[in-house]
A and B are shown apart, each in its own frame.
Chain A
Amino acid sequence: MHARLAPLENGTLPQHTDGSTLAARLGKRYGKRITGVISVPGREGRFAPLPAALPEALAGALRGRGVTQLYSHQAQAWDAVQRGEHVAVVTPTASGKSLCYMLPVLAATMTSRAKALYLFPTKALAQDQVAELIELNRAGELGVKAFTFDGDTPGDARQAIRLHGDVVVSNPDMLHQAILPHHTKWAQFFENLRYIVIDEIHTYRGVFGSHVANVLRRLLRICDFYGVKPQFILCSATIGNPGEHAEALIGQPVTAITESGAPSGEKKVLLWNPPVVNPDLGIRASARSQSNRIARLAIKAGLKTLIFARSRLMVEVLTKYLKDVFDHDPRKPARIRAYRGGYLPTERRAAERAMRAGEVDGIVSTSALELGVDIGSLDVVVLNGYPGSVAGTWQRFGRAGRRQQAALGVLVASSDPLDQYLVRHPEFFEGAPPEHARIHADQALILLDHIRCAAFELPFRAGDRFGEEAAEPWLQVLAEDGVLHPENGRFEWIADSYPANAVSLRAVADGNFVVVDRTGGRQTIIAEVDFSAAPLTLYEGAIHMIQSVPYQVERLDWDGRKAYVTRTHVDYYTDAIDYTKLKVLEHFESAPAGRGDAHQGEVHVVRRVSGYKKIRYYSHENIGYGPVNLPDQELHTTAVWWQLPQRVLEAAFASRHEALDGFLGAAYALHIVATMAVMAEAQDLQKAVGSGDGAWFVSADGNGRGQLRGEGGRMEEVPEAAPFVPTVYLYDAFPGGMGLSDPLYQRRDEILAKAVSLVARCDCASGCPACVGPVLAADEGEATPPRVLAARVLDLLSAA
């Protein structure tokens, strides 16, 4: 990404409006709200001729559709595939990535009846892909049979697809639950399998990605049984480590193609912070009001505009506001459309067609449009709130762009800490490469689940490996469980069960809670929550947000793993008061960190939720408490932690209490920047502050001040005689860890530097949810503010 920070322009208004002139106009009228302007220069296309080895019918079909030459990255992909390499292509939106795999696949299918398996993360994308294949096939009479195979495929069609499909388009869940455990029915398909195409691999990260990597290990085991070594062609949107991520997924070396040859127009990106409407409390106008205003101006100026909202509800609200302006005459065709999950596929297809044909002037969408759905080119993209990652932000902005004229992207910040961090650090976009996608394929529980599934599919022999690991110890565990039977060095499946059904690719183990909506006598499952997150979010009385819609938890059936909720309309959210005890079990690595030191290792975590706070929106006032009575949560996981020696603290802080408040604030800031750095969801990474020897722990009360707890419960202060080594921990919130701690430890200098800058550059007076955590207004001006204390801790931990 060639982004460059440019000064605000106040250009004159030209005749014709494009993204660039609109940016200038917005800058003139709303200069104070724009905290940063980023210019992305346009790029000429780089081309290559159609490969000579392409079958004539295929080349003819391409020419018939106006494709007379290839972009350079498509030609590179063709060459690498012909050399027999596994390939990962990184492609910006609308750069013609499907040709990268379509050409080698169709050529091989036509010349040697080779078969290909395509995996897409969603059914809609799979259908798009098959529609494209069928179109090309019809145009050139290529004789290639392509089918989707997913949960909607009728039973009587499945047999024909298994026997006759040249290209089978499916998804990882289907491969995991339906294809691999029945691989013998797919024998002809596997015996001729030449290519495995996996698109959108940037979505396969974290827990989901770790599962998918193991599903691929199982797939390769099956391929081995049928005597084939298929080649992988992988595609990814822009992420920081495409080649490395692709190699982690398939466990083999990959040739990464990262230079797009597709032309692109110039683009301006504005970072937009809503204006302050209540200076006393620092409350800003809503992101929604700003997005609505920007979109209105853009559409009035005749620019095709797309607004991304973070929830389905927000999509509907923004659509209504825009329709009130542009669609008040029901006799005219609609100029504004909504696009989100939950609509029927036919409805979505119709919306896509209307957008491609340019019949729509404004589209409001959730992330459902983020992935490769083709809707043609747009002039303006407005993000109503930060999508959660730099990579995701650029993917969405990628929707805007035409060859001839400049496009505009606007990121409107919400009041979330991450949004506020970003919009106040415009250089973040310039300096920060897109996030790395990470997986931890050897996570103990995930590995056990997939070795179980793999043993069902084909027996193991004692010396076999699964991925990198020797399988035997895991097989022994499964034999003890009674699902495998060891006999003469072989482990064979013996249980009357179908293990893939019990393994969800989106969770570690299957202790998940379901959230049941009982509003108005309904009984609808509306969400699933990880076991480890349940005590923090599903206690009775909790306000549980689903797509920004608040529900209140009425009853929690702990053993039945169900939370019953009803729709509510309160003006507060709830925050669990939990306190956490950590015990370090094993040190992996240590290094000096400023005047203290940093560590990573294995820890044992005990977490107890003792109650919750009700916090009013915007003002963040604490308006009440409630008790929670749940069993303790235990967790054996990995962590990274920092500590400062006692003498340093005694010299730097007036009291132990001040030092603790500083550590709490530092933990809050470190947690924000660390979450961003490793592309994690906020709840996947947790923080804790406590004594290095585990004697006591401290958590923030409603006022942003620390409360101590020791073995016997509440403590007033750390005894003077006891050693005082406060420690801030960041730990993986999954049993066994998900591989977040190691990258955090490796990047500890960068994380600390970012936390220092986050706290130093915040606009607040003494601390706020965007830096060191909420503080009570009444607390301001009294003693040393938490923000100053946190900054002191972070400075002491930074390299001198």
Chain B
Amino acid sequence: MSALADKLRGLRRQAGTAAASPSRQAVAPEPSSALAQLHRLRRPSRPGASVLDREVAGRQIAPGLYLHEKHYDWPEHQPWLDAGFARLEPIETARLLYFDTETTGLAGGTGTRAFMIGAGDWCEGRLRLRQLLITTLGAERAMLAEFACWFDAHTALVSYNGKCYDAPLLATRYRLARMDNPLAGRTHVDLLHPVRRHWRKVWPNCRLATAEQRLLNVVREDDLPGSEAPAAWLGYLRGGSAHNLRRVGEHNAQDIVSLAGIAGYMSALPAQPEAAMP
């Protein structure tokens, strides 16, 4: 576009950047922005023919913020979670908030954000799933505020690798938005660590998908790999189809359901003496 852009492109070529690392800034398997622009320009002239699929799950509760809610029947719901497997005292299940985020990448640091937060809690014996999705960057603040409302004084967190990943990432987002972080100082049961302690030597890996398959017999169909989530959201943000973004939502929902299942499974395991834990 600009003369500056042209000049910089020339200088980068001369500095050897362009040839050396063409993929360094590649973001997503997304048509070039020029092409995307073309899409947008052409859409109105072809009404009906191939209107882009822009439908996301849930209802809009603030500009750019969608809330999707779903309830799951849960036959053997227990009032207490025996958290001895995580070296914690038993926790009332009514206090639990299972959570998992979908993010714009794995690079870490202040430049990575969550575009979806999924959370599960117990509501009259059923598992209530709530998902927040932003479709504009400006809606992040509203999402963080809404998520904070799901906490009360006694909320305890359950996650899979959330202590190292999701919780610090959200802490950064709250800090950048200059808001109090509702996760700070909470009891947090990170299922990854006890699962690793039990099955590290038995399973090929301890990913959530492996754990849910081995412990809960969950087999996902048409699951969108987590690594494709950033591209799905970015594609939508840039005016592309919502198809893959809905699959991200389904993936995230299954993660939450599995969290509840694995926590229950671990809770029911016979207590192991400390010494037996490697």
Contacts and interface: CB of A to CB of B under 8 A. Distances in A.
Interface in B86-106: 104-106
A288 interface: no
B153 interface: no
B138 A490 contact: yes
Contacts of B171: 184
A734 to B, nearest CB: 8
Interface stretch (A270-278, A433-441, A477-485): A477-485
Contact of A457 (B12, B20, B111): B111
Contact of A496 (B7, B11, B17, B27): B27
Contacts of A92: none
Nearest to A501: B107
A736 B172 contact: no
B110 A481 contact: no
B50 interface: no
A640 B83 CA distance: 74
B11 A444 contact: yes
A458 interface: yes
A491 to B, nearest CB: 10
B201 interface: no
Contacts of A483: 25, 27
Nearest to A476: B2
A184 B110 contact: yes
Contacts of A734: 15
A448 B8 contact: yes
A488 B139 CA distance: 12
A571 interface: no
A276 to B, nearest CB: 44
A445 B12 contact: yes
Given A485-B137, A636-B11, A496 B20 contact: no
Nearest to B174: A184
Interface centre among B10, B12, B26, B28 (most CB of A within 10 A): B12
B111 A502 contact: no
Contacts of B2: 473, 476-477
A498 B12 contact: no
A477 B5 contact: yes
Interface in B1-29: 1-2, 4-5, 7-8, 10-17, 19-21, 24-28
A444 B3 CA distance: 13
B234 interface: yes
A485 B233 CA distance: 13
A495 interface: yes
A483 B111 CA distance: 10
A561 B16 contact: yes
A481 B25 contact: yes
A561 B20 contact: yes
B271 interface: no
Among B1, B27, B33, chain A packs the most CB atoms within 10 A around the CB of B27
A495 B25 CA distance: 7
Nearest to B234: A494
B112 interface: yes
A497 B105 contact: yes
Contact of B106 (A185, A187, A490, A496): A496
Contacts of B26: 482
Contact of A494 (B14, B27, B172, B175): B27
A160 B30 CA distance: 42
B214 to A, nearest CB: 30
A456 B110 contact: yes
A676 interface: no
Nearest to B10: A636
Contacts of B176: 184, 458
Contacts of B105: 495-497
A559 B21 CA distance: 10
B15 A482 contact: no
B40 to A, nearest CB: 14
Contacts of A455: 111
Given A184-B172, A485-B137, A511-B19, A498 B108 contact: yes
Interface in B232-248: 234, 237-238
Contacts of A776: none
A511 B20 contact: yes
Contact of A493 (B12, B106, B111, B237): B111
Contact of A508 (B8, B15, B238): B15
Interface residues of B, number: 45
Nearest to A178: B109
A635 interface: yes
Contact of A509 (B16, B27, B110, B234): B16
B230 interface: yes
Given A480-B1, A492-B137, A511 B16 contact: yes
A480 B107 contact: no
A184 to B, nearest CB: 4
B62 to A, nearest CB: 15
Given A181-B111, A496-B106, A497-B107, A480 B15 contact: no
B33 A482 contact: yes
B136 interface: yes
A280 B14 CA distance: 45
Interface in B154-191: 168, 171-172, 175-176
B110 A476 contact: no
A510 B175 contact: no
Contact of A511 (B8, B17, B137): B17
Nearest to B34: A480
Given A184-B175, A497-B25, A511-B20, A474 B4 contact: yes
A12 to B, nearest CB: 62
A152 to B, nearest CB: 20
Contact of B5 (A185, A476, A492, A531): A476
A532 interface: yes
A181 B14 CA distance: 28
B250 to A, nearest CB: 21
A498 B107 CA distance: 6
Contacts of A481: 25
B138 A559 contact: no
Contact of B12 (A182, A509, A559): A509
Contacts of A498: 107-109, 111
B7 to A, nearest CB: 7
Contacts of B12: 445, 509, 735
Interface in A419-444: 444
B136 to A, nearest CB: 6
Nearest to A483: B25
A494 B25 CA distance: 11
Given A458-B176, A495-B27, A735 B110 contact: no
Contacts of B138: 487-488, 490
A485 B237 contact: yes
A473 B175 CA distance: 28
Given A184-B171, A445-B12, A498-B107, A480 B24 contact: no
B25 A473 contact: no
A114 B27 CA distance: 41
A795 interface: no
A730 to B, nearest CB: 19
A490 B19 CA distance: 31
B4 A477 contact: yes
A511 B15 contact: yes
A494 B237 contact: yes
A633 interface: yes
B175 A187 contact: yes
Contacts of A497: 24-25, 105, 107
Nearest to B64: A487
Report the 4 A-B pairs with minimum CB-CB distance, sorted nearest first: A511-B16, A496-B105, A509-B15, A531-B16
12 contacts: A181-B110, A445-B12, A457-B109, A483-B25, A495-B25, A495-B105, A497-B25, A509-B11, A510-B21, A511-B15, A559-B20, A561-B16
Given A497-B105, A531-B20, A735-B11, 19 more contacts: A182-B108, A185-B168, A187-B175, A445-B15, A455-B111, A477-B5, A482-B25, A487-B136, A493-B110, A493-B111, A494-B137, A494-B237, A495-B25, A497-B107, A498-B109, A498-B111, A511-B15, A735-B10, A735-B15
